[in-house]
Amino acid sequence: MRVLVTGGAGFIGSAVIRHLILEKGYEVLNIDKLTYAGTLSSLLAVAHNPSYRFLRADICDGRAVAEAFATFKPDRVMHLAAESHVDRSISSAGEFVQTNVLGTFNMLECARTYWQSITGETRHKFRFLHVSTDEVYGSLSEGQLFSENSRYDPSSPYSASKAASDHLAKAWARTYNMPVLVSNCSNNYGPFHFPEKLIPLAILNALEGKSVPLYGDGTNIRDWLFVEDHARALDTIAERGRVGESYNVGGRNEWRNIDVVRLICSTLDVLVPADRPREELIQLIEDRPGHDLRYAIDAAKMEKELGWKALCSFESGIEKTIDWYLANQWWWGPLRKHHDGVHLETLTSGTAK
């Protein structure tokens, strides 16, 4: 099996590549532009594996991507490359439209040209998995869950750009009968998570005795999934999902942000004792504009139709994640030097409440 992965130097893409090569024995071509979020050091476990290849390219570059299809001849595409951070999309939306919308369009067109050029069994088994987010559905009130039939209602430039790309992917399936599938996943966490996102930011700030910024009153809810569970879900969808369908992926694991951060602080207090409880470092700051209140995934379709379910509990996943950050400063140290993580402060003047 030959899999072309885009965005493989990112958080989830690197977990997908480790899974495909080390667990499944597949051949992988990773296409990544190496933006600020792309870190080849996340792929050290496979870097010298003969099944791994890397092409530094922009997914918007039609010629480079077409050539990659022609030479690598993938059986599957797993398209993850994207601008992924909501706060950055508020301060500079252009990159999000460029990569997430136009880049996905280019990937679909190059895949279509390649797929139309192949025949027989190779054509029959070809799949294009477009990896997306639950944020396309907007915000939920209490008691509701996102299903695959939920209405698209994105709130941020990030989620609007992902919604646009989902529509393109679905249209390519309907119009050209291309074997495209879409996955919409909830919040991931785990090793190699870029330290601008809530969980790694909270771990590292709390570890270093810095304030841990929480937007608004900290009661927004996210549905957290361990990244390796997501990597397995994506492989399952690419292998057994029905073409033209969407699959929602989530761990049935809703937490208020304030409770996530408190759990991180108390776990760290045990592992690395400090003078005072780290919970005192939590600081409520001005809210993210358009901040969705709650996300929660109904993963029944994944569970019933494809037999996938999340295996890692949040408590054990958080502990594994904290242990990983404690042991791997070589990975996050250089990233922290260049990215303070709190981009919202540049938007809102950073007034602490």
Residues in contact with ligand NAD by the rule CB under 6 A: 6-7, 9-13, 32-35, 37-38, 58-60, 80-84, 99, 103, 131-133, 162, 185, 187-188, 194
Return the amino acid letter for 82.
A
- The entry of ligand NAD, ligand DAU, none that residue 214 binds, CB within 5 to 8 Å by partner kind: ligand DAU
CB count within 10 Å of CB 279 equals: 15
Residue 170 has phi, psi (to 5 degrees) of: -65, -40
The Cα 231–Cα 24 span in angstroms is: 12
Question: Known catalytic residue: 135?
Answer: yes
Query: Is residue 133 a contact partner of residue 11, using CB atoms and an 8 Å limit?
Result: no
Q: Which of 87, 135, 223, 254 is catalytic?
A: 135
Residue number with the smallest Cβ distance to ligand DAU: 133
Cβ-based nearer residue to ligand DAU, 19 or 162: 162
b (16+ CB within 10 A) / e for 146-161: bebebeeebbbbbbbb
Q: Which of 52, 114, 158, 247 is catalytic?
A: 158
- The entry of ligand NAD, ligand DAU, none that residue 237 binds, CB within 5 to 8 Å by partner kind: none
Pairing of strands 2-6, 27-32: parallel
**DSSP SS3 for 328:** coil
Half-sphere exposure of 217 (CA within 13 A, CB side): 2
Cβ-based nearer residue to ligand NAD, 97 or 258: 97
| Residues in touch with ligand DAU (CB under 6 A) | 84-86, 133-135, 186-187, 197-198, 201, 213-215, 220, 222, 257, 288, 295, 342
Q: How far is the CB of 167 from ligand DAU (least distance, A)?
A: 16
Cβ-based nearer residue to ligand DAU, 30 or 133: 133
Question: Known catalytic residue: 52?
Answer: no
The Cα 79–Cα 118 span in angstroms is: 20
Return the amino acid letter for 57.
A
Question: Known catalytic residue: 87?
Answer: no
- The entry of ligand DAU, ligand NAD, none that residue 308 binds, CB within 5 to 8 Å by partner kind: none
Q: How far is the CB of 239 from ligand NAD (least distance, A)?
A: 18
Residue number with the smallest Cβ distance to ligand NAD: 10
Looking at residue 20, the DSSP 8-state letter turns out to be I
Query: How many angstroms separate the Cα of 333 from the Cα of each of 104, 287, 321?
Result: 32, 28, 16
- The entry of ligand NAD, ligand DAU, none that residue 59 binds, CB within 5 to 8 Å by partner kind: ligand NAD
Residues serving a catalytic function are 134-135, 158
